[in-house]
Every structure is written in C-alpha cells, then in structure tokens.
Amino acid sequence: MQTLLWFRGKDLRLHDHPALADSLVRGTVLAVFVLDPFFFSREKACEFPHRIQFLLESLVELQRAIEARGSRLFVVPGKSMDAIPQLAEAWGVERVAALRWTEPFARKRDRLVAERLSVPFDLYEGETLHRPGTLRTGAGAPYRVFTPFSRAFWSQAKIGEPLSRPERLPPPPADVTTRTTAVPDMEDLGLKRNAKIQTGGEVAARERLERFLEEAAAHYDQTRNRMDLAGTSRLSADIKFGTLSVRTVWTEVHRRFGDTSAGRSYLNELIWREFTHSTLWDRPEALKEPLRPEFVDFPWRFDERLWTAWESGLTGYPVVDAASRQLRAEGFVHNRARMVHAAFLTKHLLIDYRFGEAHYMKYLTDGDWAQNNAGWQWSAGCGYDAQPYFRVFNPTTQGKKFDPSGDYVRRWIPELRELPPEYCHEPWLAPPVIAGSAGVRIGADYPAPVVDHKEARERFLTLAKSHLQRANYS
C-alpha cells in the first residue's frame, strides 16, 4: 500500500489513528507538506508572524524526526488543491490521507482536493476529541449552551488512548521523485525571529505538558484566572498545531488528575474547545457575523483614536494595556486578560468585536479560528452561551482581583514598575508624592483613562438595551 500522507500545518501528529498507524508501519507512506502561498509568502506571512514562526520550527523538527525513522518529508510549493492531486497521480499512490479541519475554508479546500483526486481521500478525525457536529440535543439540534453540551460530551464521547509513534518508517521508493524545497526560515518570508514566542515542535510541547502536570495542574482550579501566576498549561499552540494531540493532553491530565477538582476544571476547558469547534462546524457563518441574530446590525462605532489606544496599550487602564502589549510581544494573552481586553474594546469603546478578532488572529501564536471567534463573540455578548450584554467588566476591579500584587501589569508596563501595588491598577489615584517618586506623570509618562468606566458602562447598557428591544420586537 502506498499512501500520500498530507500534513496541513496543524496536524503534525497523525499517528494517533489506528488505521493510519497501520499504514505507516506496513505500507509505503509519502509524507507531504505543501507551502501554500496563502500562508508562506512574503505578502501573507506578515499577517500572522507568530504563528508562522511556531509552525516553521515545528516543521523543521518534524522533518528531522521523519528522516531519523528512515523516511522523508516532501516539502513542495503551491496550492494544496493543485499540488496534492498532481503528486498523487505522479507517484501512483493508492490513497491520500489527512486530518479533517473544522474551518469552512478548509472544508472547501478538502472538497476540491477530493474532486480532483482519482484515488480515495481519507480524512481522519483528530483536531478535536469528538467529531464536530455529532453531539445533538434531544430534538436533534446543535447545542447553543455549553453546560448541556458538556454533559452530552461526558456521556457520549469515546476517547481512545494515544498510540506510540512508530520507531521506523519504510523509505520512499527510489522512483518517487519531485522537485522539493527547503522549509523556509523567517528571513525567507521577510520576518524577524521573535525570541519571546514559544518554541515549536513536539519536544518542546512534551516538556510543557510535563511541566504543567508536575507544577500547575494540581492547583489549576484555583490559579487559572490569576494573570500574575504561571497557573495555566500554555499548551494552546501545541494543540492548535498538533505538536501534541488533544487526545494526548486529555489522557495525561485525566490519568493523573481526573478525579480532582483541578483536573475536572482543566478537562472542562478542553470540552469548551470542543463546543467552539462543534459550533463552527454547524454555523460556519460565525466567522463573518454574530451567532445571535439580534446583534447582526448592532450599532458599533469605530473611533480611530480609541482603536489605536487599545491596540497599542495606551488606554490608561493597566490590565487592558498589559494585555495589548503581551499580545504583540509574545503572541499570547492570559485567558482572563483576554476576556477583560475584549470586553473593554466592545463595551467600553463600542468597537465591533470583529476588529478585535482579526487583530488577535494576526498576533496570536495559538490563533485558532473557532476558539478566537467564540471568545470574541462571548465577550461581546453576541455568541452562544455568551456573557450577558449587561455584564460589563470593570477593568480596575478585574486587575485587583486577578493580579492583586500588580505583577502582571508591571511586567508589561514598565512605566508603572515603581508604583506600589495598591496603585498599579488605578495609577491616576496615586498621590502626587508617590507618583512622583515612582516616575509616573499621568498624561505624560502614562495616559489618563481614555474613557470613564462608569460613563462608558452606562453608555453601552443604554445603547444595547435600546437596540435589543427594537430587534426583539421587529
């Protein structure tokens, strides 16, 4: 059996599947990665530099791992819908295998590939723990609320044990040749390497998983919302790209902590990920419009000055600004900070969540379309099981509660580094003597708040209530 195994950038661990694992060992597998210009061109790579860096590092490691087992990763330029059928025909393969993706553009791509192939195209599950779009309510409808979805997942999902990776792979036949290219480096794509981005590849991913299991996992339920602590797994990019399969993460956490409050809390976050992917599978239009129809024509107001302050970390609200700067600096934002950051843009500044969603997709290393979209719609109040529109985070209160000593703020806002903890989250209240000794002049060294929280909250609530009443009666 000769199989063309098509890696697609976020499925770098396909050997968790028994049928595919069998072909890896028994048959000849021709592993291919296509350098699609949608991602791997100078024009496009700059649109998501942190993800590209992580992916390139992961590809180099994958290439070496396959070679160490006696085979080869064929890296070819072009459009996948053209390259894969052409290679399948040229090499005389009997089947093509790849991992299924949830995103609508990926489903369209796979459909086009299948139409152009003259051999079977096998799509394997693995992006999620349970196939998206298969959990249904008693009425046969998709779930719109997370809690019943979670109950259905626990009762219906069958999660198999991850398989060991093969130690040897059959070498490609001598007559299998094609014009290949090297995995590009950052400079080839016009990018500079960012030392603050997580290291890509399975080795680093497994180290992160083990570190989480040994350190933070036992207290996850107590520390996961603390912005100043290393209380989360930091595995989101690994799961997104497949340097660790989500099945591996689930299995290891469940094995060690499944009967604890901390373990259940973490597994619940993985189920939330299942919920977001299942929602996108059933509602692909979510990437373009709100899931709740009454928000489709919501009167957002774009203000260039406020947008610039938000994206550059100069709103005058320290937690909001710390999140802005962390995102651009290291391609990651703590989940609690993400919620505060997103809610501030949509509810305090009245800027359409889609601007924030696109901004995050540009800089996030773990940029996942389903997860990112669901998070932004949740924060804006227009998604499934979303935060109610009338809940408006107070960024100062959130900072005091989840960054009590101000360590998160001081890490990302050096202007406030010398302020005592009690003023880190509201530096405008620091007495002149204290502010002066800390080198903080509001309006000069650090901006005054661009909006007043109370006034902004009332403005949003009035606008939202009026709009939703009209939408519900129209």
pLDDT of residue 409: 98
Which two structure tokens, joined as six digits, stand for 324?
């802005």
Helix/strand/coil for 121: strand
pLDDT of residue 474: 55
Which two structure tokens, joined as six digits, stand for 295?
């928000």
Q: Say which CATH topology domain 293-473 has.
A: DNA Cyclobutane Dipyrimidine Photolyase, subunit A; domain 3 (1.10.579)
Give 446's DSSP letter.
B
Helix/strand/coil for 73: strand
- Its CATH class, for the domain covering 128-161+202-282, is mainly alpha
Contact (Cβ atoms closer than 8 angstroms) between residue 311 and residue 409: no
Helices 304-312, 318-330: axis angle to 10 degrees equals: 70
pLDDT of residue 28: 81
Helix/strand/coil for 220: helix
Residue 134 CA to residue 152 CA, distance in Å, equals 10
pLDDT of residue 378: 96
Residue range 356-378: mean pLDDT, rounded = 97
- State whether the Cα torsion 374-379-384-385 is positive or negative: positive
Contact (Cβ atoms closer than 8 angstroms) between residue 409 and residue 318: yes
pLDDT of residue 350: 98
Residue 397 CA to residue 416 CA, distance in Å, equals 17
Strands 95-99 and 121-124: parallel
Q: Is the pLDDT of residue 331 over 90?
A: yes
- pTM as predicted: 0.95
Contact (Cβ atoms closer than 8 angstroms) between residue 31 and residue 71: yes
Q: Which residue has the tokens 């320290």?
A: 318
Q: Is the pLDDT of residue 345 over 80?
A: yes
Phi-psi region of 182 (alpha: psi -120 to 50; beta: other; left: phi over 0): beta
Percent of the chain with pLDDT over 70: 96
Q: Is the pLDDT of residue 76 over 70?
A: yes
| Amino acid type, 277 | H
pLDDT tier, 389 (very low <50, low <70, confident <90, very high otherwise): confident
Closest-CA residue to 196 (of 412, 351, 402)? 412
Scored b (16 or more CB within 10 A) or e, 188-204 reads ebebeebeebbbbbbeb
Contact (Cβ atoms closer than 8 angstroms) between residue 234 and residue 208: yes
Which two structure tokens, joined as six digits, stand for 372?
């990112």
pLDDT tier, 414 (very low <50, low <70, confident <90, very high otherwise): very high
Q: Which residue has the tokens 């060992």?
A: 25
pLDDT of residue 424: 97
Phi-psi region of 388 (alpha: psi -120 to 50; beta: other; left: phi over 0): beta
* Mean of the per-residue pLDDT values of the chain: 94
Residue 410 CA to residue 432 CA, distance in Å, equals 19
**Domain coordinates in residue numbering, the chain:** 2-125, 128-161+202-282, 293-473
At 95-146, the pLDDT tens digits run 999 999 999 999 999 999 999 999 999 999 999 999 999 999 999 999 999 9
At 2-38, the pLDDT tens digits run 889 999 888 887 666 666 666 665 668 899 999 999 8
Which two structure tokens, joined as six digits, stand for 177?
């040749």
Residue 353 CA to residue 346 CA, distance in Å, equals 6
Tell me if the domain spanning 2-125 has CATH number 3.40.50.620: yes
At 162-210, the pLDDT tens digits run 888 888 888 898 888 877 899 999 999 999 999 999 999 999 999 999 9
pLDDT of residue 161: 87
| Amino acid type, 187 | E
Residue 310 CA to residue 139 CA, distance in Å, equals 43
Closest-CA residue to 32 (of 66, 6, 58)? 6
Residue range 291-309: mean pLDDT, rounded = 96
Closest-CA residue to 350 (of 390, 380, 308)? 380
| Residues paired with 97 in a beta bridge | 5, 122
Q: Which residue has the tokens 């006696």?
A: 70
- Kindly compute the dihedral angle of the four CA atoms of residues 9, 168, 129, 327, in this order, to the nearest 10 degrees: -40
Sheet with 73-77, edge to edge strand ranges: 73-77, 28-35, 2-7, 95-99, 121-124
Percent of the chain with pLDDT over 90: 86
Q: Is the pLDDT of residue 332 over 90?
A: yes
